[in-house]
Structure 1
């Protein structure tokens, strides 16, 4: 018997409010059955019917194992209307019980009644990170009367750049830095709040604080602005709208300068008691200004919020009388400060940094570039005061607090780790402390760079949605987190960045107009789209983005004479010793990605039934492959007179006997572009480049690093991949760890001066996938995790490995431990999943679930729990 659990609507858990798309339903499975054979979904507009198993709006019963993204096909759903839904499943023997009831609610759809409002003449200031002015925070309020008993109420709100919502003196929700960034000239996201509990019969007041965020002139936008629509449903069946319009009032308040790069200035002396409550005298407040604004779209991704609170690891007094706090790991966010009995008008300055000066006596802020990264709090002088920023965030491990009244202790300061609150679905651990620390660095870096968009870094005057960083880490991110809704939104950002000629920007949203993107960056469009389909079986995203992706590939075709792509400015970015890809030609990486994206497009065309396009782009991919090999593949005699095949790089000096790089050979090996007769030679050249020329170290930038471990593993050298990961001298991940890294560096080098040397970049984090796919051996081989291949790597240096992934079907677990010449493997295969166990070379199965057996080298595992004992039959 099986049952649906963890119900999702558009990837989000119940209740899902403010929908503006036709909903799709998904669920995980639990129980003792092996496979879902049939499902029945019911949707009702009232709770009583749904609890009785009646779908008075829609019922759908089908023979199907599908449990992901099943689209609602009933009558048109109504604006503002709420619906209940649940699922009953059948396995191969019987039907199970109904799932729990979930809830979704439609948003305004086309019924937008408010107006965009702003402050007519706000005070401004100069942010050193930008050429143009920013504005003091704006405080908006609207008082209104409710004469009837309220049944329910919803607020639909978007504040550009960022806002905080209040009702009747209380903060609404725990979203921060809301909404997620978009290209505000095209679309803004709105959030929906259930505010029923905040309202009362009689006088009520809405208050909104509005900050700059990314809605700044330097990125092509105007003053901050607000849109709000409150809908009140009364118990008598009537309803009422209260919307942003000319009747609102606006003023400045205690929050002054604010910006994500700047920091904040908060003057508690200017706090306005009761500004967000009824009865406040706002006669001295200004009338608002009505302005134009973008179209609105529901924010259907996990929100940004405070996800972890971290206490200080160390705290000390500097020689200059400031307090320095070490929080033990590099994060994104801010600190929360508690002050006891300070004097009115005293100013506390909080500075943030990733690293300390070698003297340990001050912060080293040189790598922040123009980011001020400073918060200032001016005391009101009334007992205990608590300060926590609203409209900024910082990348930091260390904080310096200047002019704190009295002695700062660890009880008075804590760090808030702030990021998009994606669900953690993957967990990895093993006996190697170094590998565990690398995994931790990747996870920390990934989270710190999820801020409604996947950013490059959280600390300096950049924090952009670089496509290169995103595409390289998409698979890693999906192993560790539920990224479906997040990446669905980011694909929208990429699509909106596209120009008429098909080009897209290096960053999305395109706050920096970097057109056309380097093909190694632009590939994010195809790559994220493909992994969204493969991991979550999302056909809708393929349909929504197919034409735009096709236009992008056609743009590459137009800029690839003789099928060689001459676009590009980054390539294999940041190899050891440089920012630029030294000896790996830009034309090689760009052409390789042109081939990669064309092949993906042809595969998507096949899935969507576009046969002509499938044939056209598969043929084009073949032509690109031929051109690539004709231009880059070389056959030369080595010192013994034997012919050696390799892919040529840039010859920098006469000493370069075979001018090539690890990346030059890794890329064509990864997607099987190498002619079969040359494959062994090319791989041997790669081995030599690693083991001899670079003493078993990475000599790759971010592109080569993404693929090198997989290429080694798929060609029988998992041992060499692990040796690369276990290195602790430069250049290596272990070198970062030995030098105090808790997040990944942007460069292989330990750099702490000015320039491009972030200490919290995730772009090298692609290696984390290797822990799941090869060390634990978990590989999905069919869309939606319906089929999984398990082939663990029993490395001599590792005593145990444990990996858990909450797949869309349910929990998948693989762990193994070494016991002399035997290895014991624990496996849990979730319902609705086929497991294929591949016995590692040099081993044989001696027992399964305590029964002596003899199995072939590869066999199927049904859903359930397994204890498999393997015995080494010969030394590797």
Structure 2
């Protein structure tokens, strides 16, 4: 139900170092009986933390998060019945957040506005039905906090000498407080969030405190994570503790070059008493911290890392006999956790942390297996649709799109739809439909899906190909030079046209599901024309596809672009040959990597797929694991074999996109895939291969948990599968005719001698 608002957006009369506090003290109205329910709704220009009578109103942090503020400013709702008292204080502390803080590598700040603000309302319902509303207005007070600096990229500074105890409780009389003023705000932008809040999701303790070659005190947490450090400490008044963060070490010191201009530094000034520090107005991507100024001896018990990301339920698991593969899967999970902080970002550490659309376009199926991300991604898709509508159907490369506000060099191409990146408008809703079976996702996003597909149709050349304009293409091809990530082997037109074919097919299927028969026919015809143009201009008479590299064959097979079985068989054989010729090292970038193992197994080349997965030399999925990685890297060689950081200007050690291989691990190695949306019907078809002797996989579906466990024993393959009641499963095992089972736990045996070797 839409609330009735009486609030105004209020801003402090002074900025108070970018972290002002606001408070309102009032008394409960008498004569209406007991309080039955008290509900606080709150949002801000910036980020906020809210308290009632000294207690936090919720477990969320960094609220209201980052959305396309021009059209959607989300508010959070809290049940605070247990917190109100006859004399009550609402206290709020603000920070710059994404609204006013600097964003992207251009160094721009105030992209959405220059003033911080709070908008909130506490509704108190009494036994007789009376409702008392206490809303943000010009009667509130504003004052200073202990925070003297805060930026998402650069960190937070806290001066404990400025702490004012009791400011969130009745009777406070601290100095330095002034008034507020009401500022202009269109309440039509208010939106109830679809997605979950950002929360403290866990704690990681240090595994080692040591001294670097330069004499610095370093702390290793054993895991590359996203969040901040917190601790309680006592030292002399005015003493300063400084924390610097980094994902890796280079030559034994913090490797900070990949951060670019992000300072990732927190500073704490001690009061002289016992101080508790937790910098909740920033976040960092790090495994290591450099600590200076610590009073006394720093030990593993002195501080802890708080893991911060959106509140998500874990749904999918995978484990096998190969420990390197298990670590790869853990790295993929941690990469998701670090980058699903209110929206799906590319990286969590440098001066970027943007919602790049290409990354999630290919990773969405993996994400939807590992966690329940339906609401999380639906919320983000609302911003995508809003940005797209404002840009005449153009899906931007980042959502929210702050790049439209940033200065670009003259040679930078004019913004236009970009293959794979703009495909997020179609591929992400479809991934959610397949994972959860909620047609509402498609209904909500259909206009966006159709708008994108029609816009790209208008970009086609006279040949019917998407071969004009700038494309990211097979971004970060491992054979490209470090500072030329666009210089891939795969022809950009081949990549783009293949992506459009898949997009047109999905849009047509969506239209048919929604009963839009005319649209369905239109997009089916578009798909047919694109497929024919692809065959005419990109496929030679002998079946060779232009640029003759792994990515073009992987996409052509995975997207079913090739129009005859003979061409598909040739493409599969050629793909396998190229993989073998490259000694099973990865040769694909962002476009080809998520699909190459699928393409291999779908054309009967499971051995090549397994050997590609299990290769340990660079570039490969397991090379970073052998180098000690605990998250997925942006580049296959973000760290070189000699332990130095890749010389490219763009290098992240927490980038989930290349971890999209987990989708194949779950479906092919694990053996679980949907045959109906939301796993209303499933396929049980584990495909063992050399190098893995057993695997177990499970998934919480909307209908219950599906699990498959298999092991090789001598010449036999033993499988145990659990299917939820009411769900039918098609079982396909090597050497046996496919058959169907109903809900329950089942055990099967097949001839292991028929497996790929």
Q: Per the shorter chain, which TM-score range?
A: over 0.9
Q: Does 1:749 align with 2:612?
A: no
1:860 CA displacement: 0.8
- In structure 2, the residue matched to 1:470 is 360
Q: Deviations over 1:84-133 (max 9, x none)?
A: xxxxxxxxxxxxxxxxxxxxxx451xx1210111123415xxxxxxxxxx
Aligned with residue 679 of structure 1, among 563, 568, 576: 568
Number of the residue aligned with 2:381: 491
Residues in 2 aligned to 1:345 and 1:381: alpha-carbon distance in whole angstroms: 7
Q: Is the 8 A contact 1:581 1:701 kept in 2?
A: no
Question: For 1:631, what is the secondary structure of its paired residue?
Answer: helix
Structure 1, residues 56-78: CA drift from partner, whole Å, max 9, x if none? Answer: xxxxxxxxxxxxxxxxxxxxxxx
Query: Residue 527 in 1 paired to residue 427 in 2?
Result: yes
Task: Please name the residue that 1:450 is paired with.
Answer: 340
Aligned counterpart in structure 1 of residue 617 of structure 2, from 729, 739, 742: 729
Deviation at 1:873, TM superposition (A): 6.0
Q: Which moved more, 1:318-327 or 1:682-691?
A: 318-327
> Structure 2 residue aligned with 1:365, among 228, 250, 256?
256
Greater Cα shift, 512-521 or 138-147:
512-521
- The residue aligned with 2:92 is 208
Change (3 A) 1:428 1:167: same
- Corresponding residue number in structure 1 for 2:552: 664
1:602 aligns with 2:517: no
* Farther-moved stretch of structure 1 (300-309 vs 605-614): 300-309
C-alpha separation in 2, matches of 1:442 and 1:542: 27
CA distance in 2, matches of 1:819, 1:207: 64
> In 2 relative to 1, CA 475–347 (structure 1 residues): closer, same or farther, beyond 3 Å?
same
1:545 aligns with 2:445: yes
2:498/2:561 contact within 8 Å kept: no
> Which residues of structure 1 form unaligned runs of 5+?
1-105, 124-134, 636-643, 650-659, 845-856
- CA drift of 1:592 comes to 1.7
Equivalent residue runs for 1:129-528 within 5 Å? 136-148=18-30, 149-201=34-86, 203-216=87-100, 217-281=109-173, 284-294=176-186, 295-318=189-212, 321-339=215-233, 341-358=234-251, 360=252, 362-382=253-273, 384-498=274-388, 499-513=390-404, 515-528=415-428
427-436 vs 589-598, which moves further = 589-598
**Secondary structure of 1:711's partner?**
helix
Tell me how far apart the structure 2 counterparts of residues 808 and 581 of structure 1 sit (CA, whole Å).
Answer: 42
Deviation at 1:464, TM superposition (A): 0.2
State how far apart, in whole Å, the 2-side matches of 1:816 and 1:246 are: 66
Aligned-pair distance for 1:493? Answer: 1.2
- Contact 2:210 2:217 (8 Å CA) reproduced: yes
2-structure distance, mates of 1:215, 1:754: 30
Shift of 1:500: 4.6
Aligned counterpart, 1:564: 465
In structure 2, C-alpha distance between the alignment counterparts of 1:474 and 1:872, rounded to whole Å: 33
* SS across alignment from 1:702: coil
Q: Distance in 1 between the 2:755 and 2:123 partners?
A: 71
Q: 1:544-564: CA deviations, max 9, x gaps?
A: 222232222111111112322
Distance 1:321 1:695, change over 3 A: closer
1:589 aligns with 2:480: no
**Structure 1 residues 746 and 158 mapped into 2: Cα distance closer, same or farther (>3 Å)?**
same
**CA distance in structure 2 between the partners assigned to 1:716 and 1:754 by the alignment:** 37
- Check whether the contact 2:48–2:93 (CA below 8 A) recurs between aligned residues: yes
Deviates more, 1:203-212 or 1:574-583: 574-583
Alignment of 1:113-132 (within 5 A): 113-123=6-16
Residue 769 of structure 1 and its aligned partner are, at CA, apart by 0.9
User: Are 2:543 and 1:645 aligned?
Assistant: yes
> 2: CA distance between counterparts of 1:321 and 1:745?
29
1:766 and 2:656 are equivalent in the alignment: no
User: For each residue in 1:142-193, what CA deviation from the matched residue of structure 2 results, as whole angstroms up to 9, or x when unmatched?
Assistant: 1111133312100000123211011111222111111231011211111111
Instruction: Count matched residues.
Output: 720
CA drift of 1:221 comes to 2.6
| Cα distance between partner residues in 1 of 2:27 and 2:635 | 58
1:112 counterpart = 2:13 = no
Contact kept, 8 Å, 1:229 with 1:242, in 2: the verdict is yes
Q: Secondary structure at the match of 1:180?
A: coil
Aligned to 1:98: none
Structure-1 residue corresponding to 2:533: 627
Task: Kindly state the Cα deviation for residue 623 of structure 1 after the two structures are TM-superposed.
Answer: 0.4
C-alpha separation in 1, matches of 2:569 and 2:282: 53
Distance 1:728 1:350 in 2: 35
Contact 1:576-1:748 within 8 A present in 2 as well: yes
CA shift, 1:648, in A, is 0.8
Structure with the largest fraction of strand: 1
Return the alpha-carbon distance in structure 1 between the equivalents of residues 479 and 155 of structure 2.
Answer: 33
Q: State the 1:219 CA deviation.
A: 2.7
| Inter-CA distance 324–214: structure 2 relative to 1 (3 Å threshold) | same
Aligned to 2:410: none
CA deviation string 1:210-251 (max 9, x = no partner): 111110244333322111010001123211100011111112
Residues 578-614 of structure 1: per-residue CA shift (max 9 Å, x gap): 2124221222222222222111111111001111111
Provide the secondary structure at the position in 1 that maps to 2:544: strand
CA displacement at 1:411 relative to structure 2: 0.9
- Please point out which of 771, 778, 787 is paired with 2:681: 787
1:814 shift after superposition:
0.4
Q: 1:733 to 1:500 in 2, by over 3 A?
A: closer
How far apart, CA to CA, are the structure 2 residues paired with 1:866 and 1:875?
21
SS in structure 1 of the partner of residue 655 of structure 2: coil
Given that 1:354 and 1:396 are in contact with CA atoms closer than 8 Å, whether structure 2 keeps it comes out as yes
**Equivalent residue number for residue 106 of structure 2:** none
User: Which of 747, 750, 754 is 1:870 aligned to?
Assistant: 750
Structure with higher Rg: it is 1
The 1:754/1:262 distance shift into structure 2, 3 A limit, reads farther
Give the SS at the match of 1:707. helix
Is contact 2:633–2:653 with CA below 8 Å preserved after alignment?
A: yes
Q: Distance in 2 between matches of 1:517 and 1:306?
A: 36
TM (normalized to structure 1)?
Answer: 0.80
* Superposed CA offset, 1:365-412 (max 9, x none): 010001010000000111x32211111000000001101011111111
Which deviations, in whole Å up to 9, do the C-alpha atoms of 1:819-874 show, x marking residues without a partner?
1112221111002211110122xx34xxxxxxxxxxxx111111011122223465
Q: Does 1:577 align with 2:476?
A: no
Shift of 1:736: 0.7
Gaps of 5+ in 2: 101-108, 405-413, 640-644
Normalising by structure 2, we get a TM-score of: 0.93
Aligned partner (choices 719, 733, 738) of residue 839 of structure 1: 733
Once residues 717 and 468 of structure 1 are traced to their aligned partners in structure 2, the CA distance between those partners, rounded to angstroms, is 27
Structure 1: distance between partners of 2:416 and 2:46 = 26
Change (3 A) 1:318 1:682: closer
Counterpart CA distance in 2 for 1:230 and 1:380 is 34
Query: Which is further off, 486-495 or 676-685?
Result: 676-685
Between the aligned partners of 2:347 and 2:316, the Cα distance in structure 1 is 23
Task: Give distance in 2, aligned partners of 1:283 and 1:407.
Answer: 36
In structure 2, the CA distance between the partners of 1:737 and 1:875, relative to structure 1 (3 Å rule), is closer
1:825 aligns with 2:719: yes
